[in-house]
Amino acid sequence: QQPVQSPQAVILREGEDAVINCSSSKALYSVHWYRQKHGEAPVFLMILLKGGEQKGHEKISASFNEKKQQSSLYLTASQLSYSGTYFCGTPETHYGQNFVFGPGTRLSVLP
């Protein structure tokens, strides 16, 4: 079962902040975040692991609440290059198998 994301879309001005949420009805073993620009491949941004470990993009932060089965991606002082669709994803098993993505959040940053 795929994660749920909110909001579906958000429009910002350069320099504004945004939060994208990801939640699941099932246990989250880890959470990945990817950004996909129109016509391009998804690009890995960050992974959040149980226990609080994070690995990824220096200018993007995220949180992972294991008990609530939720993760949030924080985009601060947004730049035009942040525009794209953001997907969260998670493996369905502890061993990392059957990776499922959320439906995506479309972010548009305007000058």
Partner 1 sequence: ETGVTQSPTHLIKTRGQQVTLRCSSQSGHNTVSWYQQALGQGPQFIFQYYREEENGRGNFPPRFSGLQFPNYSSELNVNALELDDSALYLCASSGTGEYGYTFGSGTRLTVV
CB 92 within 8 A of CB 99: yes
> Is residue 7 near partner 1 by the rule CB under 8 A?
no
> Is residue 103 near partner 1 by the rule CB under 8 A?
yes
Please give the full DSSP string across 42-101, using - where no structure is assigned. -EEEEEEETTS-EEE-TT-EEEEETTTTEEEEEE-S--GGG-EEEEEEEESSTTS-SEEE
Shortest separation between residue 20's beta carbon and partner 1, angstroms:
13
Q: Residue with structure tokens 């902040």?
A: 17
> Is residue 41 near partner 1 by the rule CB under 8 A?
yes
Shortest separation between residue 70's beta carbon and partner 1, angstroms:
17
Task: Give whichever of 75 and 104 is closer to partner 1, judged by the CB atom.
Answer: 104
> Is residue 87 near partner 1 by the rule CB under 8 A?
yes
* Region of residue 81 (left: phi > 0; alpha: psi -120 to 50; beta: else): alpha
> Is residue 84 near partner 1 by the rule CB under 8 A?
no
Residues near partner 1 (CB under 8 A): 2, 32, 34, 40-44, 46-47, 55-56, 87, 93, 97-104
